[in-house]
Amino acid sequence: MSALDQSDMGFLVELADRAGAEIMEIYAGDIAVAEKEDRSVVTKADTAAEAVILAGLAQRFAAIPVVAEESVAAGKIPEVADRFFLVDPLDGTREFISRNGEFTVNIALVENGVPVAGVVTLPALGIAYWTSGDGTAWRRDKDGTRAVSCRAVPPEGASVVASRSHRDAETDAFIATIKVKELVSAGSSLKFCRVAEGSADVYPRFGRTMEWDVAAGHAVLAAAGGSVTGADGSPFRYGKPGWDNRAFIARGRG
């Protein structure tokens, strides 16, 4: 369980909201797109949101290193030990550019290779998910705040949520091995949250991801009673060389 208390988690949710407000200001205007060295895309919203998050984390958690996507891309890579933050200020940049609303702000705390606390917000949709100090997963939307949890796979088959922008043949091959009721596409770390709240059952990912793409959603899903493992069933850990992930399967209960 995270050493962060409910006050700390409230601060992280507020911080993600502030970053989301920066994103939405840019979302409302013209979106200028650039390409990073790895050929992924970046916008001013990514860097503006990350600046807000880094400033807030430095203020409240000065002793905890922060591994953040755009900082790493700029060569600013901190020394980390057993405890560090992973930050993706704008996950789903392609969703942001296409203006479909399915992009997220992600903040996670990792301890001993495990994401023990996480916040995922969807600024365009007015929705937030997070873990609290007692290990509960929460969702906040226009109707208020409530605890969420995974469901058991229905007898008629699983609802499988897959990447909108990065689906591949390996994913399709995995899906063919399970009983599927419906297949739904979604962007960003929203897919983890769909499983966490029981509106989906399985999220397979065989394409490349980075640790900051996954950690916050993983934390929310775990608190909701789900799991994330390697495609072979092995534990899925963080703090790997280069922050590079292998294939994983996110599941609800059963």
Question: What is the rounded CA–CA span in Å between residue 197 and residue 148?
Answer: 5
Handedness of CA 52, 69, 249, 242 (dihedral sign): negative
Are 201 and 138 members of one domain?
no
Q: Are 91 and 123 in contact (CB under 8 A)?
A: no
Are 142 and 183 members of one domain?
no
CA 178 to each of CA 97, 227, 246: distance values in angstroms, whole numbers, following the listed order: 33, 17, 21
Q: Which tokens belong to 89?
A: 């200020």
Are 33 and 129 members of one domain?
yes
pLDDT of the residue at 1: 44
Q: List, as residue ranges, the binding site for substrate.
A: 69, 90-93, 213
Q: What is the pTM of this model?
A: 0.93
Are 142 and 179 members of one domain?
no
pLDDT tens, N- to C-terminus, the chain (254 residues)? 456 899 999 999 999 999 999 999 988 777 766 666 555 656 888 999 999 999 999 999 999 999 999 999 999 999 999 999 999 999 987 888 888 888 999 999 999 999 999 999 999 999 999 998 778 999 999 999 999 999 999 999 999 998 766 678 898 899 999 999 999 988 889 999 999 999 999 999 998 899 999 999 999 999 999 999 999 999 999 999 999 999 999 999 96
21-60 per-residue burial string, b: 16 or more CB within 10 A, e: under 16: ebbeebbeeeeeeeeeeeeeebbbbbbbbbbbbbebbeee
Are 139 and 179 members of one domain?
no
Are 20 and 132 members of one domain?
yes
Are 91 and 54 members of one domain?
yes
Are 135 and 182 members of one domain?
no
Question: What is the rounded CA–CA span in Å between residue 103 and residue 105?
Answer: 7
CA 177 to each of CA 53, 157, 166, 182, 202: distance values in angstroms, whole numbers, following the listed order: 40, 12, 20, 14, 12
Are 166 and 143 members of one domain?
no
Q: What is the CATH number of the domain that holds 222?
A: 3.40.190.80
Name the packing angle between helices 6-27 and 44-60 (round to 10°).
160
Q: What is the CATH number of the domain that holds 51?
A: 3.30.540.10
Q: List, as residue ranges, the binding site.
A: 69, 88, 90-93, 213
Q: List, as residue ranges, the binding site for Mg(2+).
A: 69, 88, 90-91, 213
CA 142 to each of CA 62, 145, 148: distance values in angstroms, whole numbers, following the listed order: 33, 8, 15
Domain count, the chain: 2
Question: What is the rounded CA–CA span in Å between residue 138 and residue 41?
Answer: 31
Q: Among 148, 171, 186, where does a domain finish?
A: 148
Range of the domain at 170: 158-251
Shortest CA distance to 7 belongs to which of 152, 130, 157? Answer: 130
Q: Are 117 and 16 in contact (CB under 8 A)?
A: no
Are 90 and 51 members of one domain?
yes
Cβ neighbours, 10 Å, residue 176: 8
